[in-house]
Amino acid sequence: MEKKSYPFFYAGEKQEYGKAVVAGGFVFLSGVSGREVATGRVKSVDVRNQTRTAWEKIASTLQEVGSSLNKIVKIVIYLKRMEDYEGYREEKDKFLYVHCRALLYIPPAQSLVEPSLYKDDMLVEVDITAIL
Protein backbone atom coordinates (compact mmCIF):
# COMPACT_ATOMS: atom_id res chain seq x y z
CA MET A 1 0.00 0.00 0.00
CA GLU A 2 1.31 3.40 -0.98
CA LYS A 3 1.18 6.28 1.48
CA LYS A 4 1.90 9.98 1.35
CA SER A 5 2.80 12.09 4.35
CA TYR A 6 2.26 15.86 4.42
CA PRO A 7 4.84 17.76 6.50
CA PHE A 8 3.76 20.04 9.31
CA PHE A 9 5.30 23.28 10.50
CA TYR A 10 4.73 25.34 13.65
CA ALA A 11 6.35 28.77 13.76
CA GLY A 12 8.31 27.84 10.64
CA GLU A 13 9.85 24.73 12.22
CA LYS A 14 9.20 21.34 10.67
CA GLN A 15 7.62 18.98 13.17
CA GLU A 16 8.64 15.35 13.65
CA TYR A 17 5.24 14.14 12.47
CA GLY A 18 3.11 14.72 9.41
CA LYS A 19 -0.03 16.80 9.68
CA ALA A 20 -1.75 14.21 7.49
CA VAL A 21 -1.09 10.82 5.95
CA VAL A 22 -3.01 9.51 2.96
CA ALA A 23 -3.10 5.71 2.62
CA GLY A 24 -5.55 3.07 1.42
CA GLY A 25 -8.11 5.65 0.29
CA PHE A 26 -8.20 7.30 3.72
CA VAL A 27 -6.84 10.51 5.22
CA PHE A 28 -5.50 10.39 8.77
CA LEU A 29 -4.91 13.77 10.39
CA SER A 30 -2.55 14.14 13.32
CA GLY A 31 -4.28 15.56 16.37
CA VAL A 32 -5.40 19.08 15.47
CA SER A 33 -5.32 21.59 18.31
CA GLY A 34 -6.12 25.25 18.82
CA ARG A 35 -2.44 26.15 18.43
CA GLU A 36 -1.83 28.65 15.66
CA VAL A 37 0.45 27.48 12.87
CA ALA A 38 2.25 30.85 12.63
CA THR A 39 3.34 30.90 16.28
CA GLY A 40 2.90 27.36 17.60
CA ARG A 41 0.95 28.82 20.53
CA VAL A 42 -2.69 29.13 21.48
CA LYS A 43 -3.83 32.74 21.39
CA SER A 44 -6.68 32.16 23.80
CA VAL A 45 -7.35 29.88 26.75
CA ASP A 46 -11.01 29.72 25.73
CA VAL A 47 -12.22 26.34 24.45
CA ARG A 48 -14.47 27.98 21.86
CA ASN A 49 -11.61 29.94 20.28
CA GLN A 50 -9.35 26.88 20.31
CA THR A 51 -12.13 24.77 18.78
CA ARG A 52 -12.66 27.27 15.96
CA THR A 53 -8.92 27.36 15.24
CA ALA A 54 -8.73 23.55 15.24
CA TRP A 55 -11.68 23.16 12.84
CA GLU A 56 -10.28 25.82 10.50
CA LYS A 57 -7.03 23.82 10.36
CA ILE A 58 -8.96 20.56 9.83
CA ALA A 59 -10.86 22.03 6.87
CA SER A 60 -7.70 23.49 5.36
CA THR A 61 -5.70 20.27 5.71
CA LEU A 62 -8.47 18.10 4.28
CA GLN A 63 -8.73 20.41 1.27
CA GLU A 64 -4.93 20.38 0.82
CA VAL A 65 -4.82 16.57 0.61
CA GLY A 66 -7.82 16.32 -1.75
CA SER A 67 -10.57 15.48 0.71
CA SER A 68 -13.22 17.57 2.49
CA LEU A 69 -15.15 17.99 5.72
CA ASN A 70 -18.03 16.05 4.16
CA LYS A 71 -15.80 12.97 3.90
CA ILE A 72 -15.00 12.72 7.63
CA VAL A 73 -15.87 9.25 8.95
CA LYS A 74 -14.39 9.34 12.48
CA ILE A 75 -13.70 12.07 15.04
CA VAL A 76 -11.87 11.61 18.32
CA ILE A 77 -12.14 14.64 20.61
CA TYR A 78 -9.60 15.15 23.37
CA LEU A 79 -10.82 17.68 25.93
CA LYS A 80 -8.61 18.66 28.83
CA ARG A 81 -11.76 19.35 30.90
CA MET A 82 -14.94 17.42 30.23
CA GLU A 83 -16.99 20.42 31.37
CA ASP A 84 -15.80 22.19 28.19
CA TYR A 85 -17.71 19.75 25.96
CA GLU A 86 -20.77 21.98 25.55
CA GLY A 87 -18.61 24.93 24.43
CA TYR A 88 -16.64 22.67 22.08
CA ARG A 89 -19.80 21.18 20.59
CA GLU A 90 -21.53 24.53 20.10
CA GLU A 91 -18.49 26.07 18.39
CA LYS A 92 -17.92 23.00 16.20
CA ASP A 93 -21.60 22.99 15.21
CA LYS A 94 -21.47 26.72 14.32
CA PHE A 95 -18.41 26.07 12.15
CA LEU A 96 -19.99 23.07 10.43
CA TYR A 97 -23.30 24.89 9.90
CA VAL A 98 -21.42 27.38 7.72
CA HIS A 99 -18.87 25.05 6.10
CA CYS A 100 -20.47 21.56 5.95
CA ARG A 101 -24.07 21.22 7.16
CA ALA A 102 -24.26 17.64 5.90
CA LEU A 103 -21.91 16.56 8.68
CA LEU A 104 -24.44 17.81 11.23
CA TYR A 105 -27.25 15.70 9.75
CA ILE A 106 -25.22 12.61 8.86
CA PRO A 107 -22.63 12.62 11.65
CA PRO A 108 -19.48 10.49 11.63
CA ALA A 109 -18.48 8.06 14.35
CA GLN A 110 -17.12 9.91 17.37
CA SER A 111 -15.26 9.33 20.62
CA LEU A 112 -14.59 11.72 23.50
CA VAL A 113 -11.59 11.46 25.81
CA GLU A 114 -10.45 13.56 28.79
CA PRO A 115 -6.61 13.40 28.73
CA SER A 116 -3.78 15.68 29.68
CA LEU A 117 -2.62 17.48 26.54
CA TYR A 118 0.78 18.38 25.13
CA LYS A 119 0.85 21.94 26.50
CA ASP A 120 -0.82 23.25 29.64
CA ASP A 121 -2.82 25.93 27.80
CA MET A 122 -4.18 23.50 25.20
CA LEU A 123 -7.81 22.68 25.93
CA VAL A 124 -8.84 20.69 22.86
CA GLU A 125 -7.32 18.42 20.23
CA VAL A 126 -9.27 16.71 17.46
CA ASP A 127 -8.24 13.53 15.63
CA ILE A 128 -9.82 13.07 12.19
CA THR A 129 -10.13 10.16 9.78
CA ALA A 130 -11.69 10.88 6.39
CA ILE A 131 -12.18 9.28 3.00
CA LEU A 132 -9.89 10.60 0.30
Q: Sketch the domain layout of the chain as residue ranges.
A: 3-131
Cα of first residue to Cα of last residue in the chain, in angstroms, is 15
Which of the following CATH numbers is that of domain 3-131: 3.30.565.10, 3.30.1330.40, 3.30.420.10, 3.40.50.300? 3.30.1330.40
- What's the CA angle centered on 102, arms 7 and 50, to 5 degrees? 50
pLDDT mean by block of 10 residues, the chain; 132 residues: 91 92 97 93 93 97 98 98 97 98 96 88 96 96
Burial of 11 (0-12, 13-18, 19+ CB in 10 A): exposed
pTM of the model: 0.94
Structural contact between residues 43 and 119, judged by C-beta atoms closer than 8 angstroms: no
Per-residue pLDDT tens digits for 90-114: 999 999 999 999 999 999 999 999 9
Structural contact between residues 20 and 43, judged by C-beta atoms closer than 8 angstroms: no
Nearest to 76 by CA among 22, 130, 122, 24: 130
Per-residue model confidence (pLDDT) at position 59: 98
